[in-house]
Amino acid sequence: MATWMARCGINARIVDKRSTKIFAGQADGLQLRSLEILDSFGFADRALKEANHMLENPGPDGRLRRSDRLPDVLPGLSRFTEIVLHQGRVERFFLDHIKKHSKNAINVERATLPESMSFTEDRLDDHSQDNFPITLKLRHLSEEEATPAQAQGSTTSDGLFRSNLTEDDTDELIRKGQSKEGNVEIVNAKYVVGCDGAHSWTRKQLGFQLEGEPTDYIWGVLDVIPITDFPDIRVRCAVHSASAGSLMVIPRENKLVRLYIQLTEVKPDASGRADRSKITPEIIIKAAQKIIAPYKLTYEYCDWWTAYQIGQRVGRSFDYRNRVFLAGDAVHTHSPKAGQGMNVSMQDAYNLGWKLALVVKGLAKPQILQTYQSERRRVAQDLINFDHKFSRLFSGRPRKDIMDETGVSMAEFKQTFVKGNLFATGLSVDYGASMLVAKEGDAAEQGDGTELYMGRAKDFARPDLATNIKLGMRYPSFKVLNQTDARSWHFQTRLKSDGRFRLIVLAGNVLAPAQKSKLEAFCELLSSSAFLKSHLHHNIAVLTLHSAKRTETELLRDFPDVLHPFDEKTGWDYDSVFVDDESYHEGHGEAYKGYGVDRETGCVVVTRPDQYIGFVGSVDEKGFEGVEEYFKGVFV
């Protein structure tokens, strides 16, 4: 969220009740879509360099032999594969990026927590620039006050204070802070986003509830350098013992391995919660040793450990009147084993951030904020359903034989695992119809009753022109060449997260006279549109991908100026026209084929600032009208 604010030049503050960032443990998996997002900001390379890369999963088995080997993700889904790196490093990359790009010196104000939030109710719907209808009281804590206690007698850092086995300490922190004077501040805000976790203070102020119940399954987590003869310790795998429970192996960076270990001997008490004081690293490793026998498993070095109780809960409302928003664990909690927590939460914020930025700048209509709930709540619901099924299969006892009806079928486990993997990549997300996605359907189908303004662009949409550029899904990537210097680029890398929409002109065969005329006519309409004039190149970047032979085409001769605008200080733009052609060193990207677009006639596409596809139309007058209507539906 703060990264978007930094990149879009929006004044924002982040407060965190804790006194430090994460240094060990917590989330660790970066899924494919998250890597694409990090890359769109420009720092996926830092994660890729440090992380462990996940390539293979031997399948599960009841008697500790490999039942199968599967690729961790299906080939061809993305330019990335799944990686694992602890959350502290991921936070570091974000913090460095925010620092570098923020004109307003956005930084995380730590040991600071909100104490109250109030509204000027009758001004909430007025999104004009000088209206700040939210009043927050912030309290600044001392370092000591903000540092949570660790488990007694432990020398390894543990994450129990963030676990759902621990009660929230926000109220206590506020009480402690109130005993002192002079450490309170009043902030007037336009918008508030609560990314404040399962115990969300923001959610409680709004009186919103999460719906769902905990299960009886208790799991421990160890980040260790394992000493073992288990052959698949460097491969993500699931081990199902006959009766001692299950464990999951997640190989990590720097020789670390994360082990998720079922604690069958720890049970919830009458209140439904397990007693966390009974859980120690010794208990967890002993449970692991029973599960993994006859293989040996010990460790000398433990980096971090925690424990949690599985449960799935989701919020009914993700926002309060488009002024206060909830993201991440504040509106959906689940078990960590599918590596979704950090990923889906970042993706919530990634969905909302640019919308807020465009509204704050006065560029976009405030109605686009409604799409946060319509788009993200369905993702959360899907996640909860997946996790519910996956957790039950994972924590259940393996079926002994076909008559054993209370046991878990390993075939079903594997099927869920494979299907879940596609979901877990984040690439199957498909946002519903709205003014931001010009497709058939309406908000009612999105299952949460949101009334959305739809716009007129869908009357001009031609999704049939691009069978693999799917309205509502993220723009896929293939390798293309820069027209001028022949450099090979993954096309997605040209869709930077800079707050701009993209108009992507798949110009087809620009050397065919008929197609050249259509392209010229389309560009003429584009450059003469009074509505688009102020937005083109500033709020809507224009990218071209043609399919003629690169060496037979010339930038200045064959492509209208609007596709590569001239600047008095820096000359022609050489970075906007690309071609689907053979490269010198990296083969042929076959992008038109990949996109499912006709090489002769092409199409035009609008992508949103988050790379999701908003409009697909034809390279002609009708396509132009669709583009114009799309932006009339979005911009003020």
300 belongs to the binding site for a second copy (CB under 8 A): yes
CB of 299 to a second copy, least distance (A): 8
282 belongs to the binding site for a second copy (CB under 8 A): no
The Cα–Cα gap between 292 and 230 comes to 8
Among 81, 416, 497, 576, binds a second copy (CB under 8 A): 81
585 belongs to the binding site for a second copy (CB under 8 A): yes
- Asked if 258 and 26 count as a contact pair (C-beta separation under 8 A), the reply is no
The Cα–Cα gap between 20 and 13 comes to 16
Among 155, 179, 406, 551, binds a second copy (CB under 8 A): 551
Q: Which of 33, 89, 252, 377 is catalytic?
A: 252
Please state, as a whole number, how many other Cβ atoms lie within 10 Å of the Cβ of residue 369.
21
CB of 257 to a second copy, least distance (A): 10
- Residue with token string 């999104």: 127
Cα-Cα-Cα-Cα dihedral sign, residues 554, 560, 561, 565: negative
229 belongs to the binding site for a second copy (CB under 8 A): yes
226 as an active site residue: the answer is no
Among 388, 487, 599, 622, binds a second copy (CB under 8 A): 487
Q: Which of 7, 18, 28, 89 is catalytic?
A: 28
418: left (phi over 0), alpha (psi -120 to 50) or beta: alpha
From the list 176-184, 342-350, 385-393, 565-573, the region that binds a second copy by CB under 8 A is 565-573
From the list 51-59, 119-127, 156-164, 352-360, the region that binds a second copy by CB under 8 A is 51-59
CA neighbor of 429 nearest in space, from 372, 389, 474? 474
The distance of Cα 529 from the centroid of its chain, to the nearest Å, equals 35
The per-residue DSSP string of 163-226 comes to: STTS---HHHHHHHHHTSSS-EEEEEES-EEE---TT-HHHHHHT--EE--EEEEEEEEEEEEE
Of 63 and 128, CB closest to a second copy: 63
Among 2, 8, 30, 235, binds a second copy (CB under 8 A): 235
In the Cβ-directed half-sphere of 477, how many Cα atoms lie within 13 Å?
Answer: 23
CB of 231 to a second copy, least distance (A): 6
The per-residue DSSP string of 305-354 comes to: EEEEEEE-EEES-SEETTTEEE-GGGTEE--STTS-HHHHHHHHHHHHHH
225 belongs to the binding site for a second copy (CB under 8 A): yes
CA neighbor of 603 nearest in space, from 590, 588, 616? 616
Among 25, 60, 197, 226, binds a second copy (CB under 8 A): 226
C-alpha to C-alpha distances, 100 to 93, 110, 343, 493, nearest whole angstrom: 11, 19, 23, 20
The Cα–Cα gap between 32 and 30 comes to 7
CB of 608 to a second copy, least distance (A): 26
- Asked if 599 and 508 count as a contact pair (C-beta separation under 8 A), the reply is yes
252 as an active site residue: the answer is yes
The Cα–Cα gap between 29 and 500 comes to 28
336 as an active site residue: the answer is yes
Among 100, 175, 180, 255, binds a second copy (CB under 8 A): 255
Of 55 and 242, CB closest to a second copy: 55
179 class by beta-carbon count within 10 Å (0-12 exposed, 13-18 middle, 19+ buried): exposed
Among 129, 271, 406, 570, binds a second copy (CB under 8 A): 570
Among 19, 157, 428, 488, binds a second copy (CB under 8 A): 488
234 belongs to the binding site for a second copy (CB under 8 A): yes
213 belongs to the binding site for a second copy (CB under 8 A): no
63 belongs to the binding site for a second copy (CB under 8 A): no
CB of 556 to a second copy, least distance (A): 6
From the list 71-79, 167-175, 437-445, 467-475, the region that binds a second copy by CB under 8 A is 71-79
Spatial strand order in the sheet of 324-326:
192-194, 324-326, 319-320
C-alpha to C-alpha distances, 432 to 429, 439, 472, nearest whole angstrom: 10, 8, 6
88 class by beta-carbon count within 10 Å (0-12 exposed, 13-18 middle, 19+ buried): middle
464 as an active site residue: the answer is no
60 belongs to the binding site for a second copy (CB under 8 A): no
301 belongs to the binding site for a second copy (CB under 8 A): yes
- Asked if 420 and 390 count as a contact pair (C-beta separation under 8 A), the reply is yes
Of 427 and 436, CB closest to a second copy: 427
3-state secondary structure of 114: strand
CB of 56 to a second copy, least distance (A): 4
52 belongs to the binding site for a second copy (CB under 8 A): yes
The Cα–Cα gap between 589 and 490 comes to 9
What burial letters (b/e) apply to 607-627, b meaning 16+ CB within 10 Å?
bbbbbbbbbbbbbbeebbbbb
Of 405 and 485, CB closest to a second copy: 485
155 belongs to the binding site for a second copy (CB under 8 A): no
Q: Which of 191, 217, 260, 612 is catalytic?
A: 260
525 belongs to the binding site for a second copy (CB under 8 A): no
101 belongs to the binding site for a second copy (CB under 8 A): no
CB of 417 to a second copy, least distance (A): 16
Of 130 and 567, CB closest to a second copy: 567
Of 405 and 568, CB closest to a second copy: 568
C-alpha to C-alpha distances, 438 to 433, 459, 506, nearest whole angstrom: 6, 8, 18
- Asked if 261 and 291 count as a contact pair (C-beta separation under 8 A), the reply is yes
CB of 568 to a second copy, least distance (A): 7
Of 73 and 98, CB closest to a second copy: 73
The Cα–Cα gap between 323 and 188 comes to 13
From the list 172-180, 333-341, 358-366, 563-571, the region that binds a second copy by CB under 8 A is 563-571
Among 147, 215, 493, 583, binds a second copy (CB under 8 A): 583
Structure tokens at 391: 């957790």
Among 293, 514, 556, 636, binds a second copy (CB under 8 A): 556
163 belongs to the binding site for a second copy (CB under 8 A): no
Helix 513-528 crosses helix 621-634 at what angle (to 10 degrees)? Answer: 30
68 belongs to the binding site for a second copy (CB under 8 A): no
Residues with Cβ within 8 Å of 367's Cβ and at least 6 positions away in sequence, in order, are: 435, 452, 453
Amino acid residing at 425: T
**Number of chain residues interacting with a second copy (CB under 8 A):** 43
CB of 485 to a second copy, least distance (A): 4
Among 517, 549, 574, 636, binds a second copy (CB under 8 A): 574
| Residues identified as active-site | 28, 252, 260, 336
Contact footprint for a second copy (CB under 8 A): 45, 49, 52-56, 69, 71-72, 75, 81, 225-229, 231, 233-235, 251, 255, 300-301, 482, 484-488, 551, 554-556, 568-571, 574, 583-585
